[in-house]
Amino acid sequence: MSAERATSRRAFALGLVGLFASACQRPPRARGEVAFWFSYGGNNRKVLLDLVERFHREQSAVRVVPTFQGDYFEGLVKLRTGLFVGAVPTITHVVGEVVPYLARAGVLEDLDGVGDDVIADLEPALSQRGTFDGGEREPLVALPFNRSTPIAFFNGAIFRELGLAAPTTWLELREVARRGRRDGAATRWGFECPIDWWFWTALVGQAGGVLVRDGRITLGGEAGVRAVELWQSMVHDDRTMRPPPGRDFNAWEAANGDFLAGRAAMIWTSTAFVKYLEDNASFPVGAAPLPGDVARAVPTGGTFFVMPRGLPDEERRAGLVFLRWMMQPRQASEWARRTGYMPVSRAGRADLETSGFFDAHPNFRVAMDQLSVAARWPWSEELFRVQREAVQPRLEAAVAQRRDARVVLDEALRVAEGP
Partner 1 sequence: MSLRPTRVHHPYAMLAPTLAVLGVFFLLPLGLALHQSFYSWDLLTPPEPVGFANYRALWASGELLETAWRTLVYSVMVVVSSTSLGLALALLLDREGRFFAFVRGAVFSAYVVSWVAVALLWLWLLDPQAGLVARIVAALRLPSIDWLGDPRFVLATLAGVTVWKITGYAMVIFLAGLQDVPRAVLEAAALDGAGAWQRFRRITWPLLRPTAAFVGTTSLILSFQSFDIVRVMTQGGPVRASSIFVYAIYEQVFVNLRVGRASAITVVFFVLLVGLTALQLWAWRRGARGKVAT
Give residues in contact with partner 1 (CB under 8 A). Answer: 73, 77, 80-81, 83-84, 101-102, 105, 107, 185-187, 245-248, 250, 258, 261, 263, 384-385, 388-389, 393, 396-397, 400-401, 415, 418-419
In the bound state with partner 1, the residue whose beta carbon lies nearer, of 12 and 84, is 84
Q: How far is the CB of 396 from partner 1 (least distance, A)?
A: 5
Could you give the C-alpha distances from 409 to 146, 161, 248, 298, 380, in angstroms and in order? 30, 40, 20, 20, 19
The smaller minimum CB distance to partner 1, of residues 25 and 372, is found at 25
Pick between residue 297 and residue 398 the one whose CB is nearest to partner 1: 398
Q: Minimal distance in Å, beta carbon 265 to partner 1?
A: 14
Q: What single-letter DSSP state applies at residue 199? A: H
Counting every residue written for the chain, the total comes to 419
Residue 245 C-beta: closest distance to partner 1, Å: 4
Nearest to 203 by CA among 221, 220, 219, 227: 227
Cα gap 193→26, rounded to integer Å: 41
Burial 230-257 (b: 16+ CB within 10 A, else e): bbbbbbeebbbbbbbeeebbebbbbbbe
Residue 93's identity, in one-letter code, is H
* Nearest distance, CB of residue 85 and partner 1, angstroms: 9
**Which of residues 349 and 394 has its CB atom nearest to partner 1 in the complex?**
394
Please say which residue, 72 or 325, places its beta carbon nearer to partner 1.
72
Residue 327 CA neighbour count, 13 Å, CB half: 26
What lies within 8 Å, CB to CB, of 262 at 6+ separation is: 155, 158, 188, 282, 283
Find the DSSP H helices in 265-345.
Answer: 274-280, 313-327, 329-339
Closest CB to partner 1 among residues 249, 283: 249
Nearer to partner 1, 324 or 402 (CB): 402
List all residues 6 or more positions away from 72 whose beta carbon is below 8 Å from its beta carbon. Answer: 39, 94, 95, 248, 249, 303
For the chain, count helices (H), then strands (E): 20, 16
Q: How far is the CB of 223 from partner 1 (least distance, A)?
A: 23
Least CB distance to partner 1 at residue 13 (A)? 13
Task: For partner 1, give the closer residue by CB, 86 or 156.
Answer: 86
Shortest approach of partner 1 to residue 335 CB, angstroms? 29
Instruction: Tell the smallest beta-carbon distance from residue 98 to partner 1 (Å).
Output: 9
Contact 370, 193 (CB under 8 A): no
Q: Cβ(233)–Cβ(171) under 8 Å?
A: no
